[in-house]
Amino acid sequence: DQQVKQNSPSLSVQEGRISILNCDYTNSMFDYFLWYKKYPAEGPTFLISISSIKDKNEDGRFTVFLNKSAKHLSLHIVPSQPGDSAVYFCEAGGRGSTLGRLYFGRGTQLTVWP
Amino acid sequence: DVKVTQSSRYLVKRTGEKVFLECVQDMDHENMFWYRQDPGLGLRLIYFSYDVKMKEKGDIPEGYSVSREKKERFSLILESASTNQTSMYLCASSPTGGLVEQYFGPGTRLTVT
């Protein structure tokens, strides 16, 4: 049973526009969330994180929004660039849980076209 | 820079062979992880370790075992490889703490024929 869901397996966006990647979770004990980016034939790399005490975190072109009541978070990329084309994974965990209970979504393939 | 290295980028093994995948990290991280990535299934946790000689099962431990004799090294063992273990295997490490990211190696593409 998936505790972290990324319901859109793919997203296609034109360069310069906004990309919005979504993630839903079911476990109310989750209190920190991370996004990773993965290029083909490479390991994922950390992108941005947010804890449950905040509802927004921004880092350059990347902003993560957290809606705790809806158990939903989203990653906004503005403006999108062709180099952003990658698979994006959402990860969730809870401070009260054992380390192993870090859950990844299945990923969303973002394609940014010129 | 944190560096996580994996012993092979590509590996081809036969069904029934014993397979060792090695992972080494150079940042003195306490925690190490093994995942497999399959199309449409994302990253699934196989095993993790939070200290030397300690291990915990993840979500899909069947058919795998692990070894952590030194802090920097975490090995994944396929006791008897099967075709359904053909996958991309990713190792990761992280320091102990709350909101911390994992650092991933480049992955090993394993094909079992």
Residue (of A94, A57, A95) closest to A73 by Cα position: A57
**pLDDT band of A112, cuts 50, 70, 90:** very high
Q: Is residue B93 part of a domain?
A: yes
The residue of chain B with its CA nearest to that of A93 is B99
Q: Is residue B70 part of a domain?
A: yes
Q: Indicate the number of domains in chain B.
A: 1
Residue-number span of the structural domain to which B55 is assigned: 4-98
Cross-chain residue pair A43–B106, CB shorter than 8 Å: yes
Q: Where are the domains of chain A?
A: 4-113
Q: Backbone phi, then psi, for B4, in 5-degree steps?
A: -120, 120
Q: Does domain A4-113 have CATH number 2.60.40.10?
A: yes
**pLDDT band of A100, cuts 50, 70, 90:** low
Cross-chain residue pair B40–A9, CB shorter than 8 Å: yes
Q: Å from B105 to nearest chain A CA?
A: 5
The first and second tokens of residue A12, run together, are: 């296609």
Q: Is residue B105 part of a domain?
A: no
> For A22-60, how does the pLDDT look when each residue is reduced to its tens digit (9 = 90+)?
999 998 888 889 999 999 889 999 999 999 999 999 999
Q: Is residue B36 part of a domain?
A: yes
Q: Is residue B45 part of a domain?
A: yes
The pLDDT value given to residue A16: 97
Residue (of B19, B13, B11) closest to B76 by Cα position: B19
